[in-house]
Amino acid sequence: MYETERLVQELAKFEIDTHNIVINQVIFPDVVGASALLEARVRMQQKYLDQYYDLYEDFHIIKMPLLEEEVRGVPSLRAFSANLLQPYNPPPPRQLGAGDSGREAALAAEVAALKARVSQLEQELAAAKAGK
């Protein structure tokens, strides 16, 4: 939080107006499941999220999800960046089967983000065609 405030102040010194704050690696309560460790982490991070919302009430705050894997390559980067345009909606919780590493859920989330991005691009294309 200190780093965010310092950066906002430094940008203001150079007359760079800031309206957005991106909070990365957020664990959403909907995906915690039965993990006591993740539940504790969500409670801890919620305290900080509340502070961000109080301190930066005039800012647009974007929460980016904690992912199982590092974002690598253009397709993964595009899927991840879609969350900057449309808020991330965690997939519904599901029971993990034997040997299930969660890769299926990650791929499903990526597909959902890509579908949202395609929909947005289709709307932009239609608007551009209408403007000709």
Q: What is the pLDDT of residues 88-108, one digit of tens each?
A: 777 665 554 545 556 676 677
**Range of the structural domain that residue 107 is part of:** 68-132
d(CA 37, CA 81): 28
Phi and psi, residue 63, nearest 5°? -105, 120
Q: What is the pLDDT of residues 22-54, one digit of tens each?
A: 998 888 887 777 778 888 889 999 999 999 999
Last residue of a domain, one of 14, 39, 66: 66
CB 67 within 8 A of CB 80: yes
Last residue of a domain, one of 66, 91, 106: 66
Q: How far from the centroid of its chain's Cα atoms is residue 50's Cα? A: 16
Question: pLDDT at position 89, please?
Answer: 76
Instruction: Give the total number of structural domains in the chain.
Output: 2
d(CA 61, CA 94): 28
pTM score, two decimals? 0.60
Q: What is the DSSP code (8-state) at residue 98?
A: T
